Amino acid sequence: MTTGFERGAAFVDGRFVPVDEARVPITDVGFSRSDVTYDVVGVWDGAFFRLDDHLARFERSCAGLRLRLPFSRAETTEILMRLVRLSGLRESYVDVICTRGVPRDGSRDPRTFENRFYAYAIPYVWILRPEDAETGMDAVIAATVRRIPASSVDPTVKNFHWGDLTKGLYEAYDRGARYPILLDHDGYVTEGSGYNVFAMVGGELLTPEAGALEGITRRTVLELAAEEGIRARSAAISEQAFRGATELFATSTAGGVMPITSLDGEPVGAGLPGQVTSLLRERYWQAHKDPRYLTPVDYGPAPAH
């Protein structure tokens, strides 16, 4: 039996619709001015991973942009549950979006807009597919673009100001690679197009302390590293230190812990996923069975056959 929701489900204008039918009003300034924030939470094996942490970050992002969420945390959770239930997906990429909305009577005053909430659940998205984990990511340090300054666009507020990241992506492709990593204007490492980065430097695991999104996967990795007795912390990482790292990896909800095996065409370490990287990758997926991180989805009664 088909439900129409197999490719995903969306919540738009208070209605649940198949994701391919979801439409955004063209006058919503989320679309035309990038006046929007969002968050992405994963569903793995039928349970949300760190749902409250994602929703708390989403609320902070909204507050950072002076957006008013029209739904409470409990209502949002209910909507997301229903989206995943409708889709029937056991592994899903669940996106929540809050836009400034549609101007009333031609007003340009953002205070007068009615902020809008959208959400959708689609099949899980991989930045690096699991079958490619051993090969790893081919990354470049972007030479043609720097991360937009945090004083202009706060990277801890999840945003769609992706001009710099998209330019980095094109540079990576032009150079025969796929994954850009951007420096800030002082030459320190920030993040990539949809992922945080980690580097093993002098026997310590480092991740940029500023200039990047405070990723939930990044946080999970820092917690797991502490549990494993791996020395890990956030710090300023110079380009030189990053280039000298013995291991590199990227982290994202869309793919977890992803080894970086080459940088600017040169192998990282032995050109294979490093020991610490592999251990944390394994622990990351084990954590997806740990009840303290999970919010199980109620899929309702199994369909009769």
Which residues contact ligand PLP (rule: CB under 6 A)? 40, 191, 194-196, 212-213, 215-218, 251-253
Rank residues 215 and 259 by Cβ distance to ligand PLP and give the closer one: 215
Rank residues 88 and 234 by Cβ distance to ligand PLP and give the closer one: 234
Rank residues 6 and 295 by Cβ distance to ligand PLP and give the closer one: 295
Structure tokens at 166: 């998209």
**Shortest reach from residue 191's CB to ligand PLP, in Å:** 5
Helix (H, G, I), strand (E, B) or coil at 70: coil
Rank residues 21 and 290 by Cβ distance to ligand PLP and give the closer one: 290
Cβ neighbors of 143 (< 8 A, separation 6 or more) are 171
**Shortest reach from residue 56's CB to ligand PLP, in Å:** 12
**Amino acid residing at 39:** D
Per DSSP, 91 falls in state: S
Rank residues 215 and 273 by Cβ distance to ligand PLP and give the closer one: 215
What is the C-alpha to C-alpha distance for residues 113 and 105, in angstroms, rounded to an integer? 10
Rank residues 178 and 272 by Cβ distance to ligand PLP and give the closer one: 178
**Amino acid residing at 65:** L
**Shortest reach from residue 154's CB to ligand PLP, in Å:** 12
Residue 201 bridge partners (DSSP): 204
**Shortest reach from residue 41's CB to ligand PLP, in Å:** 8
- For residues 140 and 171, the answer to whether their CB atoms sit within 8 Å is yes
Place of tokens 């666009």: 153
What is the C-alpha to C-alpha distance for residues 93 and 191, in angstroms, rounded to an integer? 21
Rank residues 87 and 251 by Cβ distance to ligand PLP and give the closer one: 251
**Shortest reach from residue 218's CB to ligand PLP, in Å:** 6
**Shortest reach from residue 279's CB to ligand PLP, in Å:** 18
Residue ranges of E strands in the chain = 9-12, 15-18, 36-44, 47-49, 92-102, 114-123, 137-141, 179-183, 189-192, 196-201, 204-208, 232-235, 247-252, 256-263, 266-267, 294-296
**Shortest reach from residue 216's CB to ligand PLP, in Å:** 4
Task: Look at residues 245, 261, 137 and name the one whose alpha carbon lies nearest to residue 189.
Answer: 245
Q: What are phi and psi of 200, to 5 degrees?
A: -90, 110
